[in-house]
Amino acid sequence: MQNTTLITATNSATNSNKTFTFAGISRHPDVKIGVEIRFANSAQRFAKDLGRYGHTEVRGVALSRASTKLEAAMELLANEHFADEEAQLVIQRFITKHSTNDALITA
């Protein structure tokens, strides 16, 4: 007989109450890392920090309201500036990784 348990997994660092007003994506200088989603509280901070660390292909937008990382990622997913395949994939991976996921574990 199998036992099935419903678990809920969260990433507390990402699902925190900290909010951001600007978000986007950039290409990390380390090709092993590639394109990642980024968050900041101003366009100037976003561009300055990423430029300082050698990021390229920087794209960002002001969010409609102060948002958690997960809320910001959801907004980016629907934004026309991030409609290309690579951006959609990066954003979807972030959302999948940092969402609350219910999973059935069979023992």
- Which pTM does this prediction carry? 0.75
| 71-84 pLDDT tens trace | 999 999 999 999 99
| 43-81 pLDDT tens trace | 888 888 888 888 888 899 999 999 999 999 999 999 999
Q: Which of 28, 70, 25, 17 is nearest to 46 (CA)?
A: 25
Q: Which of 12, 5, 69 is nearest to 39 (CA)?
A: 69
- Taking the C-alpha atoms of residue 91 and residue 107, their distance in angstroms, rounded to an integer, is 32
